[in-house]
Amino acid sequence: MFCCFPAFVTGSEMKLLYLAKTAIPARTANSLHVMKMCQAFANNGHDVWLNVLSEKQADSVASPDVFQFYNVDTCFRIVATRLFPDNGNKLRFLLSHFLVIPYLIRTLREVKPDLVYGRDIFSCYVAACFGYNVIAESHFPLWHGKVAAFAFKGLQKKATFKKLIVISEALRRVYLDYYSGLSPEHVLVAHDGSDPVDGDGVVEKKFCEASDRLQVGYVGHLYKGKGVEVIAAIAPQMHNVDFHIIGGLDEDIKNWKQRITTDNVTFHGFVQQGELPAYISGLDVCLLPNQYKVLAHGADPAKITKNISLFTSPLKMFEYMAYGKAIIASDLPVLREVLNGDIAILVKPDDYHGWIDAINSLQDENLRTTLGNTAREVFLKKYTWQKRAESVLVA
């Protein structure tokens, strides 16, 4: 149940234990977020331990290959606690949480952290019950998850609970409205982030030798609501533009290939983090076409309880900004918390003519450069992973 991979750590200001229930390695934004934040905490001088709660074998989680998979430095330790598989059964799900408590306690006592930081609310609650200072992070409302909702109600009453980190102002309002005992000063908004880009070290991928063809790309998963619907609608009408879809699970790619058959759309499949810079660098325009309903990874399409469109803070948005790319994004309130007309062109999700007009306007290289440079400046001031890691720990 327990395995540790040691990493080299120096100059530590605080020992921080990060608790996350996620599969690692995996292609999920959730696991990437966790690994990038652990790297950022460590690069800010802290002694960081990541405790991964996963159904995977411990030795597959706590492996040097994991760091390479996410393109992060080996600057923190990974502790793996194997979960009891629940196979979607609610009783087994509840049992798995209680069976893991002794292993969490052992990890807490062995690591002796100054602070517990966590994406798994139940684990954070356990840590708080044993007197550890806790900062919790949430990316969606908890009222539909009975175990997590119960744990958070208990957590917020603990004196060692320091604050809750959320990824958007919209999500902050939900928590404050739903949990009457939660003080506004205990809920901090920290939008997601990305790493700065060293342009000198990136070899740009050449998608096309014809310099007059605009290269437009989408990076990310392809499940319902992420916006590939937009590309499917507009690509057949834009024969002078090349579209690149980077990412996605094999099954999703297969399904979309059956719907999108025009020869100006290329599916590149999953690209590892270390290779992604070349792909993004080779694009002229980056798309963030979130729809009004976006399902969380693994969510049942028949249920609306996992709709994250109102609260999301997409990692790809900050990656696009870091690379100084011209962005066309859906005009949604939660995206406007970061984006505006100075750094992106905003279009209603279902206004396909508007998406076509926006792409055509970016045939103007000067406009692309202006938008991209402004976006990168804003990113460097506010949205790097290290700046995020600093902000969430401020008292």
Measure the CA–CA gap between 28 and 118, rounded to whole angstroms. 17
Nearest to 234 by CA among 216, 212, 211: 216
Comma-separated ranges of CATH 3.40.50.2000 domains in the chain: 2-193+385-392, 199-382
What is residue 308's predicted lDDT score, i.e. its pLDDT?
83
CATH class of 2-193+385-392: alpha beta
Superfamily in which the 199-382 domain is placed by CATH: Glycogen Phosphorylase B; (3.40.50.2000)
Q: Flag whether pLDDT at 200 surpasses 80.
A: no
Least reliable range by pLDDT among 21-25, 86-90, 145-149, 186-190: 86-90
Instruction: For residue range 152-171, list pLDDT tens digits in order.
Output: 999 999 999 999 999 999 99
CB proximity list for 357: less than 8 A, separation 6 or greater: none
Instruction: For residue range 258-308, list pLDDT tens digits in order.
Output: 999 999 999 999 999 999 999 999 999 999 999 999 876 555 555 545 678
pTM above 0.85, yes or no: yes
What is residue 56's predicted lDDT score, i.e. its pLDDT?
61
Give the other-Cβ count within 10 Å of 336's Cβ.
Answer: 14
The string of DSSP codes covering 38-107 is HHHHHHTT-EEEEEEEESS-HHHHSSHHHHHHHT--S-SEEEEEEPPP-TT-HHHHHHHHHHHHHHHHHH
Alpha-carbon torsion 121, 296, 354, 213, what sign?
Answer: positive
Pair 74, 7: CB distance under 8 Å: yes
